[in-house]
Every structure is written in structure tokens, then in C-alpha cells.
Chains A and B, each alone.
Chain A
Amino acid sequence: MTDTAPSITREQTARVQTARVQTTRVHTALFAEVTQKLRLRAKELLESGEVVSVIGWEAGRFENQTTPAFITDANKVDRLIFNEYCANTLGKYVLSEKLDGKVAVCVRGCESRGINRMISDNQLKRSEVYLLGLPCPGMVESPEVSHASEPSHAPEASSKLLSKCAFCTHRQPVVFDEYLGTCEATDETLGGLIPKPIDPSERFSDVEELEALSLDERNAYFEKLYNNCIRCYACREVCPCCTCRECFVDQARAGWQGKQNNLEENRFYNLTRVFHIGDRCVECGECERVCPMELPLMKINRKMVKDLTTLFSVPEAGLDSETISPLNTYDVADLEEYL
């Protein structure tokens, strides 16, 4: 069997990545300005007592890496930063933080859609969060930390767009209380500053690529995926749709999920996870990013999103908090395949 031609997916990613490098310098100014504003507003919000904590990012342990920050003390707002290494999507942290009171959280496109998602799933009230909208040019991968013996070499700055950002359709927050960017929150007005997000109609290209394979090839592909899963459940933990108090994998008495790490159980977990969130997935790509085994989870997630989109012509998830997810409703005029 011959190798297939270079995929559309990789071409697209490369295109976005090139655009990314060209605009890096503009971004440095943008990031500095946004960080300034963010610290200022965080301080004001905490001092006025309007919120009990601010969720953002702070410098990580290594250079060119960040980690989520939970600031509760107005004197510590200077820890907050916003730069091109803010890979974590923060939305889900709101659920645990809000127990103490109103929470301010930084929202880019992915976070804002996650927040909408949790509001429509009754996990969150809009009044429980204060949303600080941030402009997002797409984030880049933190350079690999070298384990070489000489520690003098700082990791080189990378410019590889995170794969989740290459497929992002909404870089700008779709809901916020205030916007900390430099211009109005539309991709158009941000114009040359920020490379255009991927066209929504192109976002299924990687699924189509897999669909074109034969049944056996697809089977092998996904068996490889299941075989490599270590069932750490990180993909569940970060997902703004996975908000059940008790997940099916933890229902020991019902016994849905066996504890063995084998193909059958891993397939059961992965397919069930996808099916539980597929009608509501906001395509933030966080599950795929956190997977320690680097499994291409979006290729399953997007398959379900694609089918539901084409079968029931539903809009992208998480753009507002009112739309009912396609599997929670029906239409008597739905396509009939089972007569």
C-alpha cells in the first residue's frame, strides 16, 4: 500500500503556523498590554470584593511555560501573566473555585464557549462568574524541556501553534463582561494582528481523512489508540462538558467500567466518553492536549460533532447558553434510516 498524499490537515496547520511566525512581533506588544490591563482589573475586582478569586495564568516552573493561577490576594496580582504559552483552558476550574463566591476568570474563545456550555448544563449561573475577555492569537507549544546534563541552555523559543489552536474557529471570547484587548472583539477588526481562525467548514478535514480509509485500517488505527490509553481520565477532568457529580467510570456498583487496562475496557471508556460529550463538545481540544499518551482524541470527538452537525444541522456548541444540544431534543422530520 502506498503512502497517501500529504493531508489537507497538515497543510492547513502549516499555513496557520507560517502566519503565526510572521505576526509574532505584533503579539509581544499585544500580550504586554493585555497583561497590564489584566493585573489592573484583577486588583480592582479583588479589592472591591466583587470577586473572591481571579483565575488566570502565571509563570510556570520553566521558561516559556505557564500554569493556571488562582489569585485571591489583591497584592499578588502581579503574578498574573498572559503570553503565547498560556496553553491551559481555564473554564472548568470555575466549578471548584465558585464554591467560595463569585469568581473572575480570563476567557478566550475556548474558555468562553466552555463557560456557556456549563451554564446551559446548569452547572454554573452566569451571575457566579465575572468574565475577563482576552484576545487570543493562538497559543504555541512550550519548547521541550531538555534533560541534557548541561543546564546552561535555556529552551529555545518555539513557534509551533498548538494543534488545538490550529483548529480553533473562535479565537475571540463569545461572551464576556469586559474585554481587555486592544480593539473590538471580532476577528475582522483584529485584522492583521491575529491570523484568521480556521473556517468552520474546514474543521472536519482530519475526520474526512480517516473516513476515507478502509474499515480494517480504521479499526487498526483506533485499536492503536485504545491500546495506548492508560485510563488516567485526564481527558474527562479538563472537559467543560464532563460535569457529572458521579461519572460512569466511578460507579463501581453499576460496574460499567472494568478496572483492567485492556483493549475492550479502553474502547468502552473512550467511546462512552465521546458519546457522553459529543453532542455538546465545544471543540476546545483540551482533552487532546492534556492526554499524557498524546492520543488524537479530537479525531473521535469531531466525528460525532460532524455527524450531528450534518444530520441535524445544529450550530457549533457553546456559542450561547440557550441552544438545546441535538441529542436532548428531536424533530419528527428527522431522517429515517431504520424502517
Chain B
Amino acid sequence: MSVVESNSDFQPTVLAFCCHWCTYSGADLAGLNRMNYPANIRLLRVPCSGRVNPQYVLTAFNKGCDGVLVCGCHPGDCHYVSGNYFAKRRMMAFKRLLEYTGLEPERFQIRWISGSEAGKFRDVVTQVCEEIRALGPLKHSASFEAFAEQGALGTVNALTPANKAEEVVEND
């Protein structure tokens, strides 16, 4: 893993899925009130947080986003009654899965922001962008090799994901 000396100049790309009825209106209100927040955020309007397919999140990371934020109405306020409840369960499981497989928790966040919470929108976006800026760019690949160079693979290898490709090479 390459350690970036200082990340303060790093400009992350952060994608925010915003539900049309709450968070997107909240963002609108923040704009009307001339609030300042980092320009690293890219808003993507969805009808409901329940519309956010976890595959969108993976695609965002694959296409170069350094972080993803999913925002929706507060539980109980969903325009479609229950969309955000389904989203909540889904995202709780998905976030844990991503973290388990090695993603920094800060890179994928979920927040409920209502249409009147312009201030909260600004604060969340600022906080998320700063956290990701501090982390640096998303490691896209090759951290395995870098990790092996550090000689720290003992534990990982002891747990053995079978490595047939290597075996074949050795046997030849």
C-alpha cells in the first residue's frame, strides 16, 4: 500500500445517490441558502433510496469513484412508504460485506437527510469528502503484491485461499 505523504491536495470523486423526495430537495435548499460544501461530491438523483442497487455502488468504485454516499428520507418519511426500510437492511448487509472484504468503512456511507435539512446535507457532504480526502485514492488493485513485498502475508497465507494458478506454475 503506497502511503501518500499528505492528502490535502488530493481531490477525491465522491458519488452521492440522493433520493428525489428528501435528500435531493435538501441539497436544493442548501444551494438556495448559498451554503458551501466541497465540489468533490457528484449528486445522482434516484426516485428512492430503495432504488439504489448495490451493483451501482460496485460500479461506481470500478469506474473511479473514491467514495460513495447513499442518502434517503428518514425512516418513516419515505414517499413510497417503505423503500428506505428495505434500503436500510440491504445497505447494512452490503456495507458490512464491503468492509469485510477490505474496503475502508469511510468510503461507503449511508445517511438519512430530509428535505428541510440543508445544514445536515452540507455537514454530511463536507465530512464524507474530508474523510475520503484523508484516505487518499481508492486502491484499485495490486495492493496484494505490495502487501506481499512487506512480507506480511503469513497470516493471510495461513488461511489459504487455494491458489491453483501458482500450483500449476510450480508443477511445470
Contacts and interface: CB of A to CB of B under 8 A. Distances in A.
Given A7-B159, A223-B144, A271 B85 contact: no
B164 A271 contact: no
A300 B93 CA distance: 12
Contact of A272 (B55, B88, B90, B92): B55
Contacts of A295: 161-162
A145 interface: no
A223 B143 contact: yes
Interface in B48-104: 54-55, 58-59, 62, 74-76, 82, 85-86, 88-94, 96-104
B39 interface: no
Given A1-B154, A4-B158, A218-B102, A228 B163 contact: yes
A330 to B, nearest CB: 4
Nearest to A220: B147
Contacts of A293: 162, 164-165
A338 B73 CA distance: 11
A216 interface: yes
Interface string A312-339: 1000000000000011001110111111
A330 B156 contact: no
A215 B102 contact: yes
Contact of B164 (A213, A228, A331, A334): A228
Contacts of B153: 220
Interface in A15-56: none
B93 A308 contact: yes
Given A264-B140, A326-B89, A338 B58 contact: no
Contacts of B147: 216-217, 219-220
A219 B101 contact: yes
A144 interface: no
A304 B94 CA distance: 8
Contacts of B110: 337-338
A332 B89 contact: no
Interface residue SS majority, chain A: helix
Contacts of A184: none
Nearest to A207: B100
B156 A248 contact: no
B101 to A, nearest CB: 4
B155 interface: yes
Contacts of A335: 92
Contacts of B155: 1, 3-4, 213, 217
Given A220-B156, A330-B89, A296 B162 contact: yes
B88 to A, nearest CB: 6
A337 B58 contact: no
Contacts of B165: 228, 293
A265 B55 CA distance: 12
Contacts of A262: 141
A336 B75 contact: yes
A327 B75 contact: no
Contact of B98 (A1, A248, A271): A271
Across the A-B interface, the 7 shortest Cβ-Cβ residue pairs: A219-B102, A294-B162, A330-B85, A223-B144, A222-B101, A220-B147, A263-B141
Interface of B: 1, 54-55, 58-59, 62, 74-76, 82, 85-86, 88-94, 96-104, 110-112, 139-141, 143-144, 147-148, 151-156, 158-165
Given A268-B62, A296-B161, 18 more contacts: A1-B152, A7-B159, A213-B155, A218-B102, A219-B147, A221-B161, A224-B144, A224-B163, A256-B55, A256-B59, A267-B58, A272-B55, A304-B96, A307-B96, A311-B93, A332-B85, A338-B91, A338-B110
Interface of A: 1-4, 7, 207, 209-211, 213, 215-225, 227-228, 248, 256, 262-265, 267-268, 271-272, 274-275, 278-279, 292-296, 300, 303-304, 307-308, 311-312, 326-327, 330-332, 334-339
